[in-house]
């Protein structure tokens, strides 16, 4: 039992996010993530509480996530994640994701997500399913700077959507990591199994851009800043995030 405690490492983080949706609607969220590593097995637990204040109504949403990552063979790894959400409008949702990795540089991966959402209407409850395929390729330039390209293919009961994604990370200073990413195309009810994001906003997203900065203050402690813009057909959402990460203890 003593060996188990000392062989295990825990890496917690907390993020605060403010969303500027419109003049009348603002969004706020607090999220906490816990990564536990034991014997090269990685377990992830996360919770996100989101509040959206509108002119006529307020929306609360809670998202619970669990995940597991393991290198099962040399160059071959798997990641499995599960999400469950419910809102103050009595809407609920459940998501299962699995991703297979191959290689070290480049890293090729294929992710598959199946989701079920239920929306409450005045006299009935309606269920609908979505399926998502997300192949990615990540290459470390000079074995240091990650470049990732991928696509999202989403199948819904009424229509199919396709979008392309990409990101680039670099280190302008020793203790500062920067990454720039974006998505272009059409995405609807999509899931990011790496960042543990479930975008269940009931509108078609046409693109997005994000800038992330992480600065190491002291040993094992980092502060993260996030700027993100999601582009929809009739409006845009600007997100501003602040995070505190502890690498391990």
User: What digits encode the pLDDT tens for the residues 83-137?
Assistant: 998 888 888 899 999 999 999 999 999 999 999 988 877 777 888 899 999 999 9
Q: Confirm whether 225 is domain-assigned.
A: yes
H-helix or E-strand spanning residue 111: strand 107-120
Q: Is the dihedral of CA 225, 227, 230, 235 positive or negative?
A: positive
Instruction: State pTM to two decimals.
Output: 0.88
**Coil/strand/helix, residue 248:** coil
d(CA 34, CA 226) in angstroms, rounded, equals 19
Which tokens belong to 37?
């590593």
54 in a structural domain = no
143: left (phi over 0), alpha (psi -120 to 50) or beta: left
Determine, yes or no, domain membership for 157. yes
pLDDT at 1: 42
179 lies in which domain range? 72-246
Rg (CA), the chain: 19
Question: What pLDDT does residue 6 have?
Answer: 54
How many structural domains comprise the chain?
1
Whole-number pLDDT of residue 212: 95
Residue 180 has pLDDT above 70, yes or no: yes
| Structural domain includes residue 57 | no
Residue 8 lies in a domain: no
CATH number where 188 lies: 2.40.160
Two tokens, residue 204: 């078609």
Q: Could you report how far apart the first and last alpha carbons of the chain are, in Å?
A: 18
Question: 247 pairs with which residues across the strands?
Answer: none
Q: Tens digit of pLDDT for each residue in 2-61? A: 444 557 899 999 999 999 987 778 999 999 999 999 988 999 999 999 998 876 678 899
Chain position carrying tokens 């790496």: 194
Bond preceding residue 199 cis, omega within 30 of 0: no
């Amino acid at each position: 039992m003593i060996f188990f405690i000392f062989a295990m490492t825990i890496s917690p983080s907390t993020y605060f996010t403010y969303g500027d949706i419109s003049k009348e609607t603002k969004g706020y969220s607090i999220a906490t993530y816990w990564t536990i590593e034991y014997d090269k097995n990685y377990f992830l637990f996360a919770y996100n509480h989101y509040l959206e204040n509108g002119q006529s109504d307020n929306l609360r949403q809670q998202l619970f996530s669990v995940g597991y990552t393991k290198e099962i063979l040399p160059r071959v790894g798997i990641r499995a994640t599960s999400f469950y959400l419910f809102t103050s409008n009595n809407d609920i949702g459940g998501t299962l994701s699995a991703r297979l990795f191959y290689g070290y540089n480049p890293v090729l991966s294929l992710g598959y997500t199946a989701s079920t959402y239920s929306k409450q209407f005045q006299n009935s409850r309606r269920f609908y399913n979505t399926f998502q395929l997300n192949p990615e390729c990540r290459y470390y330039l000079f074995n240091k700077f990650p470049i990732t390209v991928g696509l999202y293919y989403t199948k819904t009961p009424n229509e199919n959507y396709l979008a392309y994604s990409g990101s680039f990370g670099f280190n302008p200073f020793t203790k500062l990591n920067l990454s720039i990413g974006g998505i272009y195309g059409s995405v609807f009810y999509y899931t990011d199994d790496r960042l543990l994001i479930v975008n269940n906003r009931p509108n078609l997203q046409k693109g997005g851009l994000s800038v992330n900065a992480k600065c190491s203050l002291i040993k094992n402690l980092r502060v993260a800043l996030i700027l993100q813009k999601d582009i929809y057909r009739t409006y845009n959402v600007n997100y501003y995030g602040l995070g505190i990460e502890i690498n391990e203890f």
